[in-house]
Amino acid sequence: MEAVTTWSLLVLTLPTENATARMRFWRALKAKGCAVLRDGIYLLPYTEAREQMLRELATAIAESGGTAHLLRAPSLDAAQETEFRLLFDRSDDHAQFMLTLKEARKTVSGQSAADLTKLLRRLRKDYETIAAIDYFPGDAATRAEAAWQDFIGLVDTVLSPGEPHSAERPIRSLSVSDYQGRTWATRQHMWVDRVASAWLIRRFIDRDARFVWLTSPGACPASALGFDFDGAVFTHVGERVTFEVLVVSFGLDKNPALLRLGEMVHALDVGGAPVPEAIGFEAVMAGARERAADDDQLLDEMSRVLDSLYTHFVSTTKNRDERKRS
């Protein structure tokens, strides 16, 4: 027998005089994935956070003129456990999302970077909305996740042809003084990791750096320091993207603002914990990429954005450290 689930039950009567409030409460219950046992009785698998959400909702319903009572109880037996879990089956939602991805794949190659970024953001929101309320994920969730990751890979291929694979090797400690006035090379039509890495190189490593934008990794001059492509001197290593590898290689990882920038670049390049500033940076990057005549112009424009973000992170990390000390 599966483990018995403890359930939170919200028994409510919505206010009859306030149609706007009724609609707001109904939408909140739906957004949280509550199952309907019968009119006015809603069910969620118990967690402290979900029950707190229901408690706050119950208070709001009462304040609006309705009534709400929150209860907690386990399934009585295996049959009831199965019955209740089926109320949370998201297979149809996952199947519909996969159909949406199938249709979206047909349009990817003809879209601009800005449009692709918007499409990816919208579909990510759709995927995360379903995943957040799939409390008992099964095979349908696994298939949907695989389809979503394949779609992300397809978009990355269009936005960043030749995206490097992660290498498994130690990251050597290097001296900035040995890397002055050098030629650095990466793939043309830069996207997030490459533009941030180029900014980092010029701002913190080699202020006199010259850049070559490659039509393909095989075109990299022997004398140039390649970055962010397979076989490059600096590329993805383990879980780190190229920007993070450069930060560690040149001993810049004691700078908390650069580490915050690295978290943002990582999230946008390969996914990971969300960073609030990431969506805005991604939108600016997509727009700049459409406007810039070449990668030199793109780097100049995005360098100003990265300078501002770096200053922002310096300020926020300083304020955070001061609050910790106080």
287 and 273 co-located in one domain: yes
Please list, residue by residue across 280-298, b when 16 or more beta carbons sit within 10 angstroms of its beta carbon and e when fewer do: ebbeebbebbeebeebeeb
Q: Could you say which of 86, 104, 138 is where a domain stops?
A: 86
Average pLDDT over residues 200-229: 94
- 193 and 289 in a single domain? The answer is yes
Q: What is the predicted pLDDT for the residue at 84?
A: 95
CA angle 301, 287, 295 (to 5 degrees): 45
Band of the pLDDT at 274, cuts 50, 70, 90? confident
Residue with tokens 């006035």: 181
What's the pLDDT at 1?
Answer: 44
Complete edge-to-edge strand list for the sheet that includes strand 41-45: 35-38, 41-45, 6-13, 67-74
| Residues 314, 198 within the same domain | yes
Q: Taking all residues of the chain, what is their mean pLDDT, rounded to a whole number? A: 91
CA distance 236 to 13: 56
Predicted model pTM: 0.60
In terms of domains, do 141 and 18 share one? no
For residues 262 and 192, is the Cβ–Cβ distance under 8 A? no
Measured between alpha carbons, how far is 5 from 81 in angstroms, rounded to an integer?
Answer: 7
Looking at the fold, whether 218 and 290 belong to one and the same domain comes out as yes
Confidence of residue 169 (pLDDT cuts 50, 70, 90): confident
pLDDT of residue 271: 80
Position 323 scores a pLDDT of 64
Closest CA to 310 of 257, 262, 245: 257
Where in the sequence is the domain holding 293, given as residue range(s)?
Answer: 176-325
| Judgement on whether residues 270 and 183 belong to the same structural domain of the protein | yes
The predicted pLDDT at position 325 comes to: 63
Whether 165 is in a domain gets the answer no
CB 123 within 8 A of CB 150: no
Total number of domains constituting the chain: 3
End-to-end CA distance of the chain: 52
pLDDT band with cut points at 50, 70 and 90 for residue 165: confident
34, 59, 86 — which closes off a domain?
86
Query: Are 202 and 209 spatial neighbours (Cβ–Cβ below 8 Å)?
Result: yes
Last residue of a domain, one of 86, 120, 138: 86
Mind listing the pLDDT tens digit for each residue in 76-123? Answer: 999 999 999 999 999 999 999 999 999 999 888 778 888 888 899 899
- Give 326's pLDDT tier (boundaries 50, 70, 90): low
Please give the average per-residue pLDDT across 19-33, as a whole number: 91
- Whole-angstrom Cα distance, residue 296 to residue 294? 6
What confidence score (pLDDT) does residue 141 get?
92
- 217-251 tens-digit pLDDT: 889 999 999 999 988 999 999 999 999 999 999 99
Instruction: Provide the pLDDT for residue 24.
Output: 92
CATH of the domain at 32: 3.30.70.240
d(CA 305, CA 145): 33
Indicate if the pLDDT at residue 14 is higher than 90. no
Asked if residue 169 belongs to a domain, the reply is no
